[in-house]
Structure 1
Amino acid sequence: MTTQPRLFGADYSVYVRIARLCLTEKGIEHQLEPLDIFAEGGPPVEYLVRHPFGRIPAFEHGGFTLYETSAIVRYIDEAFEGPKLQPLDVMHRARCNQLISIADNYAYPELVWGVYVERVSKPDRGVPTDNEKLAAALSKARNCLAAMSDLMGNGPWFVGQELTLADLYIAPMFDYFLMTSEGTELIHQHGNLKEWWARIASRPSMAATKPS
């Protein structure tokens, strides 16, 4: 299949950006088809054929369609030429998958929705911050960062010496989280995460996929 892959979603979405980061790191040209699921009336009915749960992103490549970001990025890594983003070593591969699961289940709800949305997004829209929700999210964010820091150890990347899907999965979540003063304060408590962020934030793929 040589057809240029297509992503459906909004560039501000963490999960759309994760998929775009993977495509960009592998040097794969792709199309982003804009779709705002938060628009009045929700996603178009025809989109629900691509994603029956009405979430983003959805993905298409040469007639093959897929949804769920973790499945999309693994497909991208395995279907296209370019740097391998999943470790070959079985233990490193398991660690990569563990970190992706941590990002999905703990980092995204707390760092993005619990901290960034409450501290930045809501005030920008004239909506007051829910301080109880923010405090609860910060408590969980501390635990999340401590766990990720511990798993990372002293390597330059989350899984050893090479960039993997784990790094690309976590980076867009940190990008939003670190727009808050609390996020900046918390990452300073973990030297390896602070150094990792400087490393990943400077990659051309991060600039190329920056939300508009």
Structure 2
Amino acid sequence: MLKLYNYHRSAYGRIVVIILTEKALNCEYEEIDPFAGNLSSQYLKLHPFKRVPVLKHNDLVLYETRAITEYLEEQFPNPTLMPTDIVGRARVRQIVAMIDNYGYLPLVWQVYVESIEKQSTEEGPDSEILQEGLLNSARFLGAIEELASGGKFLVGNAYSLADAHLIPMIDCFTVTKQGRAMLPDYPKLSQWWSSIRKRDSTVTSRPKY
């Protein structure tokens, strides 16, 4: 039995939903809002750092998205979401690590949140954070552009964990006018996004922004 604890607007939670969809796995779902401030003691036993997602599979409890997605890949290997060659697998892991370390913060928090989420708040967007985010996003996108295979998928000729991990970040980024204007500067990523955004798992997992 699989159960996913997730917040419907979580970029990282969406990655897990995408992979569950790609693998056609049935999964019970429980909505958890990590920003609500009233998380139950029961949930804190599952995730002591008060975040999402958490995956429960029988007696196993996993948090940290990368651990969850690699577990799902190994536990449910069909269809495979990792290349068969060692170089391809290394490239997927490299891209996923780059997303975590250099992509998520600027694309989602510094650009999307500042441009969209804070528009309706009393404090409003912080232009310095936004500009820093755009600069850092350009650096990240340039690095991914160099590594991308070109075409429908980031690594090789098949869908992989790299695609699933990048989709929510690019989707948030291109909700903003700045992100939409910037992405065409990266031809391989633009071609990838124009195709991957129409994939069923991308469409059905997409929250309302």
* TM-score normalized with structure 2 length: 0.96
Q: CA deviation at 1:42?
A: 4.1
Matching of residue 120 in structure 1 with residue 107 in structure 2 = no
Matching of residue 77 in structure 1 with residue 73 in structure 2 = yes
Structure 1 unaligned runs (5+)?
none
Match of 1:60 in 2: 56
Name the CA distance, whole Å, in 2 between partners of 1:125 and 1:211.
20
Kept after mapping to 2: 8 A contact 1:85/1:165: yes
Which of 49-58 and 152-161 deviates more? 152-161
User: Where in structure 2 are the equivalents of 1:16-165 lying within 5 Å?
Assistant: 16-39=13-36, 41-165=37-161
Kept after mapping to 1: 8 A contact 2:83/2:156: no
Name the CA distance, whole Å, in 2 between partners of 1:157 and 1:42.
40
Matching of residue 183 in structure 1 with residue 179 in structure 2 = yes
Name the CA distance, whole Å, in 2 between partners of 1:162 and 1:125.
42
Count the aligned residue pairs.
208
Q: CA deviation at 1:185?
A: 1.1
Runs of 4 or more, structure 1, over 6 Å off, are none
Amino acid paired to 2:53? P
Q: CA deviation at 1:126?
A: 4.2
Kept after mapping to 2: 8 A contact 1:10/1:36: yes
Q: CA deviation at 1:16?
A: 0.7
Name the CA distance, whole Å, in 1 between partners of 2:39 and 2:97.
26
Q: CA deviation at 1:22?
A: 0.5
Query: What SS does the corresponding residue of 2:116 show, helix, strand or coil?
Result: helix
Q: How much identity, in percent, do the aligned residues show?
A: 37
Name the CA distance, whole Å, in 2 between partners of 1:91 and 1:42.
45
Matching of residue 13 in structure 1 with residue 10 in structure 2 = yes
Name the CA distance, whole Å, in 2 between partners of 1:87 and 1:155.
16
Query: What SS does the corresponding residue of 1:185 show, helix, strand or coil?
Result: helix
Kept after mapping to 1: 8 A contact 2:152/2:196: no
1:138-190 Cα offsets, whole Å, 9 max, x none, are 11100111000000043431111011000000000111100111101111101
* TM-score normalized with structure 1 length: 0.94
Name the CA distance, whole Å, in 1 between partners of 2:171 and 2:120.
17
Amino acid paired to 1:52? P
1:46-72 Cα offsets, whole Å, 9 max, x none, are 111101111110110112111110000
Structure 2 unaligned runs (5+)?
none
Amino acid paired to 1:197? W
Name the CA distance, whole Å, in 1 between partners of 2:58 and 2:155.
32
Name the CA distance, whole Å, in 1 between partners of 2:178 and 2:140.
14
Name the CA distance, whole Å, in 1 between partners of 2:4 and 2:47.
12
CA-based RMSD: 1.2
Name the CA distance, whole Å, in 2 between partners of 1:201 and 1:156.
10
Kept after mapping to 2: 8 A contact 1:27/1:82: no
